[in-house]
Structure 1
Amino acid sequence: MEDVVDRDKDIAIAVVGEHGHAVDPAVERRVVRKIDMFLIPAMIVGYGLVYYDKAILGSAVLFGMTTDLQLSQVDNSTHPPTTNTSRLSWATSMFYFGMLAGLYPMTFALQRFNMGRILGVVVCLWSLICMLTAAVTSWRGLYAQRFFLGFVESIIPTGFMCIVSSFYTQREQALRQSWWFSSTGLFTIIGGALNYGFGQIKGGSLKRWQYIYLLAGSITFFFGLACFFVPNSPVSAWFLKKDERVVATERLRYGQTGVRCTKFKWCQVKESFLDVKVWLVALMMASAYTINGAISGFGPLIVSTFGWSTLDSILFQFPLGGICFIMILLTGYLSSRISNIRIILLVLCCLPVIAGCTLIWKSTWSHRAAAPVVGYSITGFFGAVVSLIISIGMSNVAGQTKKCFMAATIFVAYCVGNIVGPQLIKSQTKSRHYPELWLGLIICYCITIVSSLALYFVLARENKLRAAFEQNDVDRDKMAFLDLTDKENPYFMYML
C-alpha cells in the first residue's frame, strides 16, 4: 500500500484520500485500545532496557568494575591519598558520544526504510554488544564498548517518539509518550532489585558485574526479535482490520501532524535549523538531562558516601525510581486531560529537583545520613520534566522529515546533558559535597525554567495569529496529509 503513494505526500492519502470522513467514536475507541495493547507494552520494555543498560554502570562499579578495569586511580603523592575517578566519568560519557554519532543516521533510516526490519536488526546487534561487556578487560576496551553500545541504542528513543507521533493525536501523545518514558523510573526499581540479587552472588568464575551485563544482553535479544513485527504506520498496521486501519488513519487528520512520508526533504531540515522552538526544546532537554548523567552513572556511588553500604546504596534507587515513575505518569495524565498545561507542569516539576540538589549539597553527610538521601530521592522529579519536554517537542512539529529532525535533536541534547553531568563530579571535592555538581545542576534547572517560559510565549503568540486565520474545512482536510510542516500549514495549532 505504501509503495503506490506519491513519495512527496503522506502515505495516509492512499487509505483515506484528501477529504475528511466521519469516524464512529465506538470504533475509534476500539482502535486506540488495540494500538495501545500492541505498542505500549513493547515500548515500555524497550526503553526500560535502554535505561537499565545505561544505569548498570552505576551498580557495576560497586561490584568491583572500577578495580577490574582500572577505572579509578589512587594518587599517593597527596596527603592523604586521593582517588581520581575521571576514567569512570569518561566511560559514562562515552555512551552518549556513541548516541550522538548514531542519532541522525538511525532516525532518518527509520523514515526511509521498513521500520520493523531496521529496529529488529539493530536491537539484536545491541544485545550482542551489551553481552560483550563481560569480555572487556581494560578501561580502554570499556570506552570502545560504551561508544558502540550508545550508537546502536540511539535508534530506540527517537524511533519511539516518531511511532507515537504517527499513531496518536496531539492530545493523546502526552500520555503515550509518558507511558514508555515512565520505564525510566520503573526500570530503576526493577534494575535495582536485579542488581541487589546479583550482589548476593558468591564465588563462580565470573565477577558479579559480568553477570549483570550477560542478563541485560540476553533479554534485549528477545526484544529485538519482537521488533521485526513493528508496523511502519497505522496504514500498514497488521494487527488492525482493514476498516480499523482507515479509522486509525482518518482520526489523525484534524491534528495536521501527518502519519508517514518516506521521502527525505532537505527543505524541512532547513526549516528545522531556523525554527526557534526546535532549539528552545533542545536547550530545555540538554539542561534538564544533565542530572541523569550524574545519577545513572554515579548515583549508588554518591549514596554510598552518605555512610551506607553497597547494597543499601542500591536499595535507595527504589524511592528515586518510584517518584520518577509516578510523576511521569501523573503529568502525562494531566496533560491529556487539561489543555495547555504541559509547560506549566514542566516548570513546577523543576522546583523539587532544585530543592533536592540543594538539600544534598547543604545537609550534613554523617554516617547513614537521612537528609541527603531524601534530597537524592526527590530529584526523581527530573523524569517528569524530561517526559514533558519530549511531549512538547514532538506534538508541536509536523512534516515527517521535520518530526525526525526534532526527535533526533531532542536526543542529541539528551546526550549533551548526559556527557556534561558526569564531568561535574570531581572526586577531589568529595569532602566539600561535590559543590560543582550540585551548583551546576541547580543552574541547569534554572535554564530549563527560563527556556520553557520563552517557548510558552513563542507558541502562544503563534496560536493567537493562527486563530485569526479564516477557517476552511475543505482546505483543512486536504492539507492534513500533504506532509506539510507546522510552519507551512496554517491550520496547525501548537500545544502548550
Structure 2
Amino acid sequence: MSSEKISTSSVREHSISDESEFDNALQFVKENNDDETSPEEARRIVRKLDFIILPLLCCIYFLQFLDKSLLNYAAAMGIKKNLQGNEFANLSTMFYASYIFGEPIISYILQRFPLGKSLGVFIVLWGVVVACHAVCSTYASLMIVRTLLGIFESSSAVGLITISGIYYTKSQQVARMGIWSVMAGTATIVGGLLSFAFQHVNTVHFKSWQILFLVMGLVTIAFGIFVIFYLPDNVHTAWFLKKHEKMYILNNVVRKNQTGTKSSKFKIKHIKELLFKDKFTWPYFFLTVCSQIVTGAIGTFSVTITLSFGFDSYQSALLQLPSGALIIIIILIATQLVAKFGHITYIMISMFIPTIIGAIVLIIAPNRIGNILALYLLYSGSSAITLIYAWVSANTAGTSKKIFRSGMTMIGFSVACIIGPQLFQSNSAPQYHPAKIVILVTQCVCIPATLLIGWLCKTENQKRDQLSEKMPENFEFLDLTDLENKEFRYVY
C-alpha cells in the first residue's frame, strides 16, 4: 500500500470526464494545498472529531436502540393485556420485516442526498412514530406503528457506519464503533430504569406504557431536529473544521483506509459486484444472521424470560440493568483489543464461547439465580454485531458497495431478529426449550463461519501481494471498490 500523501497537483493533472463519478471531496482536494501536519496537531484533530462527531453518533445509536426496545419494557407495564397468543412476538417480527423492506430504499437515499440532513429527517420521523404508540390500543394499530418504526430506524446503523468510515481510519473506526455501540448497553440500563419509574406513573386517561412512549417520542423528535442542523454531510463541508484540518482528515482516511469518503452517484455495478462477484458477501451475511438470532430472542423476550424464572414485574425490569452493564464491558473490551492488536477473527470467536455456555445452562435450568446469570452470558454473542460492523466497514470500498453492504448487514441482523422472537411460541412457555436449543446451535456454527471469513481475507491478501499491477494516479479518489483496487488489503 502506498504511503505517499495525496498530491494536490497530481489530482489536477488527472483527466476526469465526469467528476460526479468520484468522491465528493475530490474538488475540495484539488482546490486546497495539503500542509504538513505534526503528530500533536493530528491528535488534536482526532480529539476534535471525538468531541463533536462521536457524541452525536452515540446519541443516535442510544435513541434508536432504546426506542425500538420500548416494546420489550412495555411487556412488564401492561401492553400485553391487549394482545393474545403470539401477537406480541408478531409485533417484533413486523418491525424487523419492515426494517428489511426499508433498508435498500433508505440506503439509496443516504447516498444520493446529504448524509447528515437525511439522517436527521429519519430520526424526526421515527420519533413521531414512537410518540404515536401512545394512542395505539389494538393489535392492528400497534402493527402499523411497528412497521413504520422499522422503516425509519433502518437508517441508523447504515448512517453511523458510513459516518465512522468517513472521519476515521480503520483502527480508529473499530474503537469509535465500540464507543457508540455501547449505547446499546446504556439504553438497556436506561430502559430498565424508565420501565421501573413509569410503572409508578398512571393517569386517568393514559396507562404507564403510553406515557413512556409519548415522552421518548418527543425527546427523539427534538434530537432529530438538532441533528439536521448540527451533523455535517461530509468532511469537506464540516462546519467545525478548518481547511488544513479537513485536508489532514481526507489524506489520513483516504491514504490509510483506501475506502474514500462518499460519492453521491449511485452505481449499479457496485451492487452487482456485491451480490454476484464478491466472495465475502454471503459469508458475512450468514455470520450476521447466525450470530444475531440470540439478539432477536433476548431483545424482545428478556423481560418475559426473566418473569419465567419467578421474578415479579418490578424485579424483572431492574434485572435488565446488569445486562446493560455487561454489554458495555464486552463491547469496549472487544473493540479496544481489535483496535490495538488486530486479530478480529480470534477476538470475535472468543465472544461466542460465553453465549454457548449460557445457552447450555439455560437448557439445564438449574435454579433461579443460575438461570439469570446464564441469561446474562447470552449478551456476549449478541454484542458481536459491533465487530461485524467494523469488519464490514474496513473490508469494503466504493460508496454504493459500502453503503449497501452495510445495508445487507442490517438486513441479516433483521432476519435474525425476526427468527429470534418467533422461537418463543406460546405453546413452549414458560421454559421455551426449543428457543434455547436454537440459540446454542447457531452460536456454535458462528465459530467455523468466522474462521472461514478470516481465512478468505488472509488468502486474498497473499494473492494480491504477488501482483505487480500498478494502480492509476489518484486512485484513492476514484470511488473504486475493494475488488477493483488491487492495493486494497483486507483485515482479519
Superposition TM-score, scaled by structure 2 size: 0.92
1:157 deviates by 0.9
Question: After superposition, where does 1:358-373 map in structure 2 within 5 Å?
Answer: 358-365=360-367, 369-373=368-372
Partner SS for 1:62: coil
Counterpart position of 1:269: 271
Partner SS for 1:480: helix
The one-letter code sitting in structure 2 at the alignment partner of 1:112 is: R
The one-letter code sitting in structure 2 at the alignment partner of 1:350 is: F
Partner SS for 1:494: coil
Partner SS for 1:485: coil
- What CA deviation, in whole Å up to 9, does each residue of 1:12-31 have, x standing for no partner? 32233499875432222111
The one-letter code sitting in structure 1 at the alignment partner of 2:105 is: P
Counterpart position of 1:480: 476
The one-letter code sitting in structure 2 at the alignment partner of 1:209 is: W
Partner SS for 2:60: helix
The one-letter code sitting in structure 2 at the alignment partner of 1:332 is: T
Counterpart position of 1:435: 433
Q: Is the 8 A contact 1:57 1:297 kept in 2?
A: yes
1:467 deviates by 2.1
1:478 deviates by 1.7
| Residues in 1 aligned to 2:69 and 2:332: alpha-carbon distance in whole angstroms | 21
- Picking from 49, 52, 64, the partner of 1:35 is 49
Question: After superposition, where does 1:297-316 map in structure 2 within 5 Å?
Answer: 297-316=300-319
The one-letter code sitting in structure 2 at the alignment partner of 1:261 is: S
| Residues in 2 aligned to 1:357 and 1:40: alpha-carbon distance in whole angstroms | 35
Counterpart position of 1:138: 138
Partner SS for 1:355: helix
Counterpart position of 2:286: 283
Counterpart position of 1:419: 418
1:125 deviates by 1.4
- What CA deviation, in whole Å up to 9, does each residue of 1:57-95 have, x standing for no partner? 11212211111x2x12xxxxxxxxxxx3x1111011111
Question: After superposition, where does 1:388-399 map in structure 2 within 5 Å?
Answer: 388-399=387-398
| Residues in 2 aligned to 1:181 and 1:336: alpha-carbon distance in whole angstroms | 14
Q: Is the 8 A contact 1:94 1:147 kept in 2?
A: yes
1:416 deviates by 0.1
Partner SS for 1:411: helix
Counterpart position of 1:156: 156
The reply to whether residue 323 of structure 1 matches residue 326 of structure 2 is yes
The one-letter code sitting in structure 2 at the alignment partner of 1:441 is: I
Superposition TM-score, scaled by structure 1 size: 0.92
1:203 deviates by 4.5
Question: After superposition, where does 1:369-380 map in structure 2 within 5 Å?
Answer: 369-380=368-379
The reply to whether residue 88 of structure 1 matches residue 88 of structure 2 is yes
Q: Is the 8 A contact 1:23 1:250 kept in 2?
A: no
| Residues in 1 aligned to 2:473 and 2:448: alpha-carbon distance in whole angstroms | 37
Q: Is the 8 A contact 2:169 2:252 kept in 1?
A: yes
Cα 1:382–1:397 change in 2 (3 A) is: same
| Residues in 2 aligned to 1:491 and 1:238: alpha-carbon distance in whole angstroms | 33
1:427 deviates by 2.2
Cα 1:399–1:21 change in 2 (3 A) is: farther
The reply to whether residue 490 of structure 1 matches residue 472 of structure 2 is no
1:398 deviates by 0.2
Counterpart position of 1:211: 211
| Residues in 2 aligned to 1:39 and 1:159: alpha-carbon distance in whole angstroms | 13
Q: Which runs of 4+ in 1 moved over 4 A?
A: 17-22
Worse overlay, 46-55 or 200-209? 200-209
Counterpart position of 1:345: 347
Counterpart position of 1:445: 443
The one-letter code sitting in structure 2 at the alignment partner of 1:355 is: I
Q: Is the 8 A contact 1:293 1:417 kept in 2?
A: yes
| Residues in 2 aligned to 1:87 and 1:248: alpha-carbon distance in whole angstroms | 49
Q: Is the 8 A contact 2:285 2:408 kept in 1?
A: yes
| Residues in 1 aligned to 2:415 and 2:297: alpha-carbon distance in whole angstroms | 12
| Residues in 2 aligned to 1:178 and 1:458: alpha-carbon distance in whole angstroms | 24
| Residues in 1 aligned to 2:472 and 2:352: alpha-carbon distance in whole angstroms | 37
Q: Which runs of 5+ in 2 are unaligned?
A: 1-16
Q: Is the 8 A contact 1:289 1:386 kept in 2?
A: yes
The one-letter code sitting in structure 1 at the alignment partner of 2:240 is: F
Cα 1:145–1:378 change in 2 (3 A) is: same
The one-letter code sitting in structure 1 at the alignment partner of 2:483 is: K
Q: Is the 8 A contact 1:21 1:250 kept in 2?
A: no
| Residues in 2 aligned to 1:180 and 1:383: alpha-carbon distance in whole angstroms | 16
| Residues in 2 aligned to 1:205 and 1:172: alpha-carbon distance in whole angstroms | 50
The reply to whether residue 56 of structure 1 matches residue 59 of structure 2 is no
| Residues in 1 aligned to 2:472 and 2:252: alpha-carbon distance in whole angstroms | 14
Q: Is the 8 A contact 1:12 1:235 kept in 2?
A: yes
- What CA deviation, in whole Å up to 9, does each residue of 1:390-440 have, x standing for no partner? 111111000000101111000000100000001101222225x21110111
The one-letter code sitting in structure 2 at the alignment partner of 1:380 is: Y
Counterpart position of 1:223: 223
- What CA deviation, in whole Å up to 9, does each residue of 1:150-192 have, x standing for no partner? 1011111111011111111112111111111111111101111
1:205 deviates by 2.4
Q: Is the 8 A contact 1:278 1:393 kept in 2?
A: no
Question: After superposition, where does 1:399-414 map in structure 2 within 5 Å?
Answer: 399-414=398-413
Counterpart position of 2:79: 65
Alignment coverage as a number of residue pairs: 472
Counterpart position of 1:81: none
1:363 deviates by 1.8
Worse overlay, 197-206 or 136-145? 197-206
Q: Is the 8 A contact 1:346 1:384 kept in 2?
A: no
- Picking from 456, 459, 463, the partner of 2:461 is 463
| Residues in 2 aligned to 1:372 and 1:336: alpha-carbon distance in whole angstroms | 34
The one-letter code sitting in structure 2 at the alignment partner of 1:454 is: L
Q: Is the 8 A contact 1:325 1:383 kept in 2?
A: no
